[in-house]
């Protein structure tokens, strides 16, 4: 399943979040494949698309950042999958 994940840091947490990102690269855990990640020019919002059959793994990945970032996680469908839904 694909997940569209948006993130946002507060102005107060931005520098710490950017520092941690530069240090770690925020790689996905085992069982999660990141399809891509995009960041705003200002650096405090962005989104990524990840694929996993394990929503718990997605949650654990985001949990490791919730001290600095707020997330919105939405399962999404490809064109082919939505074609099945709409018949």
Mean pLDDT of 3-9: 97
* Global confidence as pTM: 0.90
- Residue given tokens 């020019």 in the structure block: 41
Sequence-distant (6+) residues with CB within 8 A of 83 are none
Q: What is the C-alpha to C-alpha distance for residues 71 and 69, in angstroms, rounded to an integer?
A: 6
Q: What is the pLDDT of residues 15-53, one digit of tens each?
A: 999 999 999 999 999 999 999 999 999 888 999 999 999
Task: Return the CATH class of domain 2-86.
Answer: alpha beta
């Amino acid at each position: 399943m694909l997940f569209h994940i948006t993130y946002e840091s507060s102005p107060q947490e931005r520098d710490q979040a950017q520092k941690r990102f530069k240090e770690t690269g925020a790689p996905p855990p085992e069982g999660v494949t990141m399809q891509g990640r995009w960041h705003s020019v200002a650096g405090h919002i962005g989104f990524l698309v990840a694929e996993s059959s394990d929503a718990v793994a997605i949650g654990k990945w985001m949990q490791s950042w919730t001290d600095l970032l707020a997330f919105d996680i939405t399962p999404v469908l490809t064109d082919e999958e939505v074609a099945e839904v709409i018949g």
